[in-house]
Amino acid sequence: MVEKQNDSIDSINVVMYSYRNKDAIKTLENLMKKWSGKIFLFVHWHDQYGPTRAKLLEDLINSYDMCNGAYVKVDWDNMDGAVEYKDRRLKATLGGRYHLTITPGTIVEQDWDLKLVEFVRNKNVIVSGNKQIKINKKDPFFIKKEFSDINDFTLTNFIDRNFIFGNVIMMKNSYLGNYNFPGWLKYYGEEEVLSLQYYKDSIDIYAAPDNIVKVEQYTTLEDFNYYLTFSKWHNYNKVISLFKYSHNDIVGNIDPQIIDNFSKFHNFDFKTLSELPFDGNDVQYKRTDSRFDQHNGSRFIKDLRKVD
Contact 69, 25 (CB under 8 A): no
Q: What is the pLDDT of residues 66-81, one digit of tens each?
A: 999 999 999 988 888 8
Contact 182, 176 (CB under 8 A): yes
Contact 87, 17 (CB under 8 A): no
Q: What is the pLDDT of residues 229-271, one digit of tens each?
A: 889 999 999 999 999 999 999 999 999 999 999 999 999 999 9
The span from the CA of 77 to the CA of 50, in Å, is: 9
The span from the CA of 23 to the CA of 218, in Å, is: 13
* Predicted local confidence at residue 229, as pLDDT: 85
Q: Which residues contact 1 (CB under 8 A, 6 or more apart)?
A: 68, 69, 70
* Predicted local confidence at residue 3, as pLDDT: 36
Contact 50, 78 (CB under 8 A): no
* CA 93, chain centre distance (Å): 15
The span from the CA of 138 to the CA of 273, in Å, is: 10
* CA 246, chain centre distance (Å): 23
Instruction: Please give the residue that has the higher pLDDT: either 222 or 98.
Output: 98
* Predicted local confidence at residue 275, as pLDDT: 96
* Predicted local confidence at residue 81, as pLDDT: 86
Q: What is the pLDDT of residues 132-183, one digit of tens each?
A: 999 999 999 999 999 999 999 999 999 999 999 999 999 999 999 999 999 9
* CA 220, chain centre distance (Å): 11
Is pLDDT of 283 > 80? yes
What domains are defined for the chain? 11-287 (3.90.550.10)
Mean pLDDT, rounded, for 191-219: 93
The span from the CA of 133 to the CA of 159, in Å, is: 10
19 closest CA partner among 230, 280, 257, 240: 230
Mean pLDDT, rounded, for 205-214: 96
Contact 161, 103 (CB under 8 A): yes
Contact 75, 287 (CB under 8 A): yes
The span from the CA of 212 to the CA of 214, in Å, is: 7
pLDDT band at 218 (very low <50, low <70, confident <90, very high): low
**Alpha helix (H) residue ranges in the chain:** 24-33, 54-62, 82-92, 112-120, 168-172, 190-200, 236-245, 256-266
